[in-house]
Amino acid sequence: MSTQSTPRFSARVYVAGDNIDTDQIIPAQYLNLVPTNPEEYIKLGSYALSGLPDGCAPFVPPPGPRSPYGIVIAGRNFGCGSSREHAPVALGAAGVRAIVAESYARIFFRNAVATGECYPFETAVRLLDRFQTGDEAEIDVPGATLTNRRTGEVFKLQPLGAVGPVVAAGGIFAYARQAGMLK
């Protein structure tokens, strides 16, 4: 529910790999935290991507609880594994506004949209070697473009379609109310 409906935003980029599973996004030992409790929501953010293998740059450096990275760039099958909604919640709570991946596991994609935590953009081009962790990038949400400010390269993303307004509203319930589908 952290996403605001800004059509365009800039953030630093964190580059992850293929098959980033939900245990790497939020290790199971933190699933005792309940996302709808505000204090625990913030804590979940502080553990975002803490399951990445040793040697990866820390996604949430101490003291936390927010990450300096607002955009995650990944390869194939991002969010595979568990249906834990803690995964998009942890990313959103850490300050992630958008993920740009070649493909998503379906439950993660749906959870990202349903919660409105982050925009799940898809890219037809593999971007892992076109960005470095720490690069400044800009996303134009309605235009579906990603710009690497360091290199000046502009990448066309797949349009979000019906998913965009749902995330912008802050999730399916907020969207349904805005659209008059729910009281």
Q: Using CB under 8 A as the criterion, which residues of the chain lie in contact with another protein when the complex forms?
A: 19, 21, 23-24, 27-29, 31-37, 51-54, 76-77, 80-86, 88, 103, 105-107, 110-111, 114-115, 171-173
Single-letter amino acid, residue 36: T
Residue with smaller CB distance to another protein, 66 or 76: 76
Residue with smaller CB distance to another protein, 27 or 64: 27
> For the chain, what is the radius of gyration of the CA atoms?
15
Buried b (16+ CB within 10 A) or exposed e, 63-97: ebbbbebbbbbbbbbbbbbbebbbbbbbbbbbbbb
Least separation in angstroms between residue 97's CB and another protein is 18
Least separation in angstroms between residue 154's CB and another protein is 28
DSSP H helical ranges for the chain = 22-25, 38-46, 86-94, 106-115, 163-169, 172-178
Tell me how crowded residue 108 is: count the other CB atoms within 10 A of its CB.
28
Least separation in angstroms between residue 60's CB and another protein is 16
Residue with smaller CB distance to another protein, 48 or 80: 80
Residue with smaller CB distance to another protein, 7 or 61: 61
Q: How far apart are CA 130 and CA 22, in angstroms?
A: 24
Least separation in angstroms between residue 11's CB and another protein is 24
From the DSSP assignment, how many helices (H) and strands (E) are in the chain? 6, 7
Q: In angstroms, what CA-CA distances link 45 with 7, 82, 155? A: 24, 18, 28
Least separation in angstroms between residue 89's CB and another protein is 8
Residue with smaller CB distance to another protein, 78 or 139: 78
